[in-house]
Chain A
Amino acid sequence: MTDLSLGRHANIPSPPNHNQDINPQAVLGAEIIIEQLHKFYGSVKVLEDLDLHIQPGEFLAIVGRSGCGKSTLLRLIANLEQQSYGEIKFKSARHLREGITADDIRVMFQDPRLLPWRSIEQNVQLGLPKQEHATASGLLEKVGLKEKAGLWPSQLSGGQRQRTALARALSHKPRILLLDEPLGALDALTRLDMQNLIEKLWTEQGFTAILVTHDVSEAVQLADRIILLDRGHIAKEFQVDLPRPRVKDMQFNTLEQQVLNAVLAT
């Protein structure tokens, strides 16, 4: 399946090892191949000649300073915007299903973007056929909001709203989950809870995850691989080979410092 990409991306590190030994559900994740991606806004180049190969089920973090093009890259993958030039290809793992459609990609935005006029439960069921409503409500239990199902979004805290948004994204059984700084607005404790929740659900469901973040520590905490974007190019890549669940030991801190230094150097 990856014959094409192996030739072209021979220098890409081997796929993360969690892929081989976790539960069979993990075949869900899709593979993403990005080739010569360009994005211009008028004469401003946001992304230039970007090549990136994301393994099925990989957790990739994209870090970089503001305006480095990381959110644009995510929006292009999400098909919220169109690239100026280049290709984004999707492949399903193990030929479960050949084509990946827009329905297989879900985005979690920086703000929860819940519908204020729908209850928490109805928000999670948004866009799903009736027969899948029960599964969606089950996800609410997974994110610990079962007893809040009947409330309006305005009655929840910021963290609870973002957890609802996570449940909503996962209720569509995505093969790719795109996270656009979803924890940026949360307080430190809520953020840690959310990181653990995202990691847990990612391990259980096996989707491919791409996280755009300002927070280097968060990237090291969650990702298999971290890429550093600078002026529309990939400036550096870091492989995170720490066992999960990750603890902030010496190794963790050293890597975090390395990544942080690299970000500051851009």
Chain B
Amino acid sequence: MSKIVSVQTLQQEKVSRGTQLGQLLLPWLFPIGLIVLWQIASSTGLLESRILPAPTAVVTAFWHLLLSGELWKHVQVSAGRALLGLLVGGGLGLFLGLLNGSSKTASTLLDTTLQMIRNIPALALIPLVILWFGIDETAKLFLVAVGVFFPIYINTYHGIRSVDPQLIEMGRSYGLTRWQLYKEIILPGAMPSILVGLRFSLGLVWVLLIVAETISAQAGIGYMTMNAREFLQTDIVLVGILLYALLGKLADVLAVTLEKYLLRWHAGYQK
């Protein structure tokens, strides 16, 4: 009897291990299948390389760009723009979010205006931005900064407003000074929301950058793709597009890591 039982559990273990592996592979089944199909279509001539180059061609193009050092240069320029834009726009959003969240007067004075500006798509400003700043770096920075400002602003503001009033009451009655109250209760309480804003912004940065770098640039991933388009180098165009996806994912992973560290007290982030 006991033998049978043990055999059964062994089988169950095997099955569960199998499903575990399946769970791991399942999400990749579709993309891999798609790439295989794509490669077959390209190799058989069903798909013209002018429209979509074969996956192998994209990989080759990537390899060449990597070896020549060109890729690194463009990525560096783009990442620099993204970071600087995020720093300026995000920093300002954080500051105004903290200010308006904490002060009734400031929020009455500024929030309506900011909400109006928020409804203008950042990219609709392009003509004006070109007139103001010309077509150099400042214009691109401005676009990125305006775009990332709002997610961080709104989430910071909301985060501060939604800090548990009971904790604030406790802090007051336990004799915390205004600064201690801010540092110990309000800021950490708003942190989950602020980080959501950061993740939204990181997603937006690359969208804005793609457009901003096509205005007129001498370097950057956007420039590289636009340039390749002129010469019908679809493989390089595709490398550029995939690079944005990759950098976007990388930024998100960094944000999640930061979240995991800063919110390690949160039950949702504990193992």
Contacts and interface: CB of A to CB of B under 8 A. Distances in A.
- Interface size class, chain A: 20 to 34
B173 A79 contact: yes
B143 interface: no
Contacts of B270: 152, 154-155
Contacts of A79: 173
A78 B175 CA distance: 12
Interface in A73-125: 78-80, 102-103, 105-107, 109, 111, 113, 115-118
A186 interface: no
A154 B174 contact: no
Most buried by B among A105, A111, A113: A113
Contacts of A109: 166, 170
Given A113-B167, A154-B267, A127 B175 contact: yes
Q: In terms of DSSP, what is the predominant structure of the interface of chain B?
A: helix
A169 B266 CA distance: 24
B174 A117 contact: no
Interface in B245-271: 264-267, 270
Given A126-B174, A127-B176, A116 B185 contact: no
B188 interface: yes
Contacts of B176: 126-127
Contacts of A117: 188-189, 191, 265-266
Given A113-B167, A113-B170, A154-B267, A127 B180 contact: yes
Interface of B: 166-167, 169-171, 173-176, 180, 184-185, 188-189, 191, 264-267, 270
- Pairs of residues from A and B, 7 with the lowest C-beta to C-beta distance, nearest first: A117-B188, A113-B170, A154-B267, A117-B265, A152-B265, A127-B174, A127-B176
Interface of A: 78-80, 102-103, 105-107, 109, 111, 113, 115-118, 126-127, 152-155, 168, 172
22 contacts: A79-B173, A80-B169, A106-B173, A107-B170, A107-B173, A109-B170, A113-B166, A115-B188, A117-B265, A117-B266, A126-B174, A126-B176, A126-B184, A127-B175, A127-B180, A152-B265, A153-B265, A154-B265, A154-B267, A155-B270, A172-B174, A172-B175
